[in-house]
Amino acid sequence: PGLVALHHMANSAMGGKTTADMIHFEMLISLLENSVLKNDEKSILCLMVQAQYVINSSQFDKISENEKKLISRLKSTLWQLIKNNINEKISFEACETFIKALLLFFPSFASRTDFLMSLFNEESEEPGVLQLREMLLCNFSSLLNDSKNEDL
């Protein structure tokens, strides 16, 4: 029930975005890294959903070099979880968090394009990578359908 409630918070529109609290974000990333090291699955799941909430509800303007390092740490941790595919729930949430943070991880159009091209051209059969591809395609399909419906 708690995870469902956190998911609802992460996906609900909470009004305008506020500037990201980078101290909180850094603690969240550190806790996630420690939970991964300890293989604490419940904490990993909760922290990823919390990361989704922070990403959805925050603006990341004028990112400093130190903040770029934090974002890189999150990207590395999520990628590790996706590649290792510990279990279905963790893999799903890692993919979900990665997708929500895609613009944060790859702020330029060129970097996003490079990442997506490498992801879809890679000959990986790893379940987590395949799941990320599938979820991205579903996400893009949904965005296309939404934009078509707005044109009607």
* pLDDT tens by residue, 80-124: 999 998 899 999 999 999 999 999 999 999 999 999 999 999 888
Four-residue CA torsion sign, 50, 137, 103, 147: negative
CA distance 20 to 3: 22
Q: Give the residue from 66, 86, 85 showing the smallest Cα distance to 124.
A: 85
Helical segments of 85-126, H only: 88-100, 102-105, 109-121
pLDDT value at 51 more than 70:
yes
pTM for the model stands at 0.82
Average pLDDT over residues 28-51: 96
